[in-house]
A and B are shown apart, each in its own frame.
Chain A
Amino acid sequence: MSYVLVVIALAGAWALHLTWLAARLRRLHARSDAAAQALSLQLTRRALVVNDVATDHVALLADSAATLHFAVWLALHAAADEREAAESDLTRALQVAVRDNPMPAEQREQIFKNVVIQNRRVEMARVLYNDAVRDTCALRRRWLLRVLRLAAHLEHPKYFDIDTTLSMTALTASPPEALVTLVARTSQA
């Protein structure tokens, strides 16, 4: 009789533990997903601000303005699996625009002020998202979850790694092959 009770108690504890793990798993995926949405929104904001700068200063930025417009277009229309590359290209297009258009420091800061702010927020959103992904993946790696396939119905989140280096001072910061990927993508398009 007492054996039966012990078995029932153990089974109950086991079920509670599983429920708790499943709840954690769901909560972490919700966190990753919300962070992904925030990141996506912030990337879009940045692209739109860059678009504004390129439009407002089309005479000053000359060729760079056209490149920026195109990089924005690519970033906004990138498929999910191409977005990292497209957003990094947008950053590089910005680096090149800063490098190729020498102007007084104050004027440059004035023109790119909003871009710098939005870029910083992109960087922060990216950190928050990647932290969420890291925590989610850490739980998904637990053997119990893997064996019971508790996470099988939840999409595995992926890290989002893009270049967000944007310096208003270091004119030499741009890599020499800055536009290689952009140009390669253009020829495909």
Chain B
Amino acid sequence: MSELTGSAPRHAADERGRRLRIGMVCPYAFDRPGGVQAHVRELARTLTELGHYVSVLAPVDDDAAVPECVVSLGRTMALPYNGSVARVAFGPLSLARIRKWLRAGAFDVLHLHEPAAPSASMLACLLARGPIVATSHVAKHRSRTVAAAYPALQPLFEKITARIAVSALARQFQVEHFDGGGVEIPNGVAVATFADVVPLLGWPGVGGAVGFLGRLAEPRKGFKVLRDAFASIAEHRPELRLLVAGPGDPEVALAGMAPGVRNRVTMLGAVSEADKARMLRSVDVYVAPNIRGESFGMVLTEAMAAGACVLASDLDAFKRVLNSGGGAQPLAQAGELFAAGDSADLAVRLAALLDDPIRREQLSAQARAVVTRFDWSVVAAQVLEVYASAIAATSVYVEPAADAEVSAVERQLPTELAERLRE
């Protein structure tokens, strides 16, 4: 834990390539599991590795469990937000602590996560001036709460210099609610931690193994689709096995399966990050049967990093991740698709993949190539570009109207040319 007090020298970071002082605010309790927390932790770690100074301000329930760069905002309280209960810190005491943190940090750029949630991010936006970057993680189409609260919050949001969305859906949410476009930067994945793991003992075995990851009871995750497809092809493949990781009641999830098929399903229950990586390495085909609502497809990038052969439902988010060659050289498709929710289609394609080890090897190799685009080092570089643009777009400029007649071009051109001549 670092102290709130003590000030560090600010340096002008108006050029790219400088070391930046970055203040990051995470709205949710840092020591609890969650997508936003994981994102903030990895981004902060990567930026620190790149030589920047990062201080993360976040509510913390248990001080022992957080990394050194985290400044605690104290304990959280439960507030309903976005369809579930979020644990956030919100109140006058938080306000005072945030002010102190901002003053002591002397940041070049302030990065707020999920500023629309009533949380530390929103309070920091209220207090701060200067370059503010905000990342939206929300992935749903429209929120009545946010739409209703927007007019009251506009004075806050208009202080944001640059907006980032982690997925096309999150970007759409921003466009619908805040009119702002923003930049789309995908969620990262720590490729190295998934790439160098050993499979679980005895897996994948000779008879073929299929994998699933996700909450069993959540219909959107589509476990039922995979279960039915597995049951239909397992009849003709006596040694085929199914490896399932994720919280949920096995009795309920497997109800109605024939006993001969059922005993070939291995339930790992909820797994740690390390075991998740090993599990993804332990199967011949990883199936992502999600029916809807996957904003980015984090689980796919993790499977790709682990070198799994991916068979995913044809959701837009999944298609984008698997076909994300783009850029200079479009890479081949890094996994196969089936019609979302259609277990018959899944059964056909799964059987074909299980019978074709060469195709599986190709897909796995392509997945490893494609996933490097989602590595945190690449993603953090894109975020740094946004920081630099936000810093460049925020100069203290007092009276804009005074010399309006001189165009911005004419004012800037000689300076820029002079800079070049001096180089």
Residues on A lying within 8 angstroms of B by beta carbon are 24, 27-42, 44-45, 48, 76, 78-80, 83, 105, 109, 120-121, 124-125, 127-132, 134-135, 138-139, 153-155, 168-169
- Asked whether B181 lies within 8 Å of A131 as measured between CB atoms, the reply is yes
Q: Shortest beta-carbon distance, A55 to chain B, in Å? A: 13
- Asked whether B180 lies within 8 Å of A37 as measured between CB atoms, the reply is no
Mask: chain B, 375-407; 1 = CB below 8 Å from A; 0 = not:
000000000011011101111011011001001
- Most chain B CB inside 10 Å of its own CB: which residue of A35, A45, A129: A35
Is the CB of B84 closer than 8 A to any CB of chain A? Answer: no
Known: A105-B329, A124-B389, A128-B393. A28 touches B409 (CB 8 A): no
Bound together, the chains give a CA A51 to CA B161 distance in angstroms of 30
| Chain A positions within 8 Å of B385 at CB level | 120-121, 124
Is the CB of B255 closer than 8 A to any CB of chain A? Answer: no
Mask: chain B, 318-359; 1 = CB below 8 Å from A; 0 = not:
000000000011100000000000000000000000000000
Q: Which of the residues B154, B329, B394, B420 comes within 8 Å of A169, measured between beta carbons?
A: B329
Mask: chain B, 141-164; 1 = CB below 8 Å from A; 0 = not:
000000000000011011101110
- Asked whether B393 lies within 8 Å of A125 as measured between CB atoms, the reply is yes
B179's nearest neighbour on chain A, judged by CB, is: A134
- Asked whether A28 lies within 8 Å of B158 as measured between CB atoms, the reply is yes
Known: A37-B397, A83-B409. A105 touches B328 (CB 8 A): yes
Q: What 6 new A-B contacts, CB under 8 Å, besides A31-B161, A38-B392? A: A33-B400, A44-B409, A120-B385, A127-B162, A128-B161, A155-B400
- Asked whether A34 lies within 8 Å of B393 as measured between CB atoms, the reply is yes
| Chain B positions within 8 Å of A130 at CB level | 181
228-277 of chain B: CB within 8 A of chain A: none
Q: Which of the residues A41, A83, A124, A139 comes within 8 Å of B158, measured between beta carbons?
A: A139
Residues on B lying within 8 angstroms of A by beta carbon are 154-155, 157-159, 161-163, 179-183, 328-330, 385-386, 388-390, 392-395, 397-398, 400-401, 404, 407-409, 411-413, 416, 420
- Asked whether B155 lies within 8 Å of A24 as measured between CB atoms, the reply is yes
| Chain A positions within 8 Å of B416 at CB level | 41, 44-45, 48
Q: Shortest beta-carbon distance, A90 to chain B, in Å? A: 14
Q: Which of the residues A39, A79, A154 comes within 8 Å of B400, measured between beta carbons?
A: A154
| Chain B positions within 8 Å of A155 at CB level | 400-401, 404
Known: A28-B158, A105-B328, A134-B179. A121 touches B389 (CB 8 A): yes
- Most chain A CB inside 10 Å of its own CB: which residue of B157, B163, B180, B404: B180
| Chain B positions within 8 Å of A128 at CB level | 161-162, 389-390, 393
Bound together, the chains give a CA A58 to CA B161 distance in angstroms of 40
- Asked whether B393 lies within 8 Å of A132 as measured between CB atoms, the reply is yes
- Asked whether A154 lies within 8 Å of B401 as measured between CB atoms, the reply is yes
Bound together, the chains give a CA A79 to CA B406 distance in angstroms of 11
Bound together, the chains give a CA A40 to CA B413 distance in angstroms of 9
Bound together, the chains give a CA A39 to CA B182 distance in angstroms of 15
| Chain A positions within 8 Å of B397 at CB level | 30, 33-34, 37
A125's nearest neighbour on chain B, judged by CB, is: B389
Q: Shortest beta-carbon distance, B403 to chain A, in Å? A: 11
The 10 closest A-B CB pairs, nearest first, are A80-B407, A33-B400, A38-B392, A38-B393, A35-B393, A135-B158, A124-B389, A40-B408, A34-B395, A128-B393
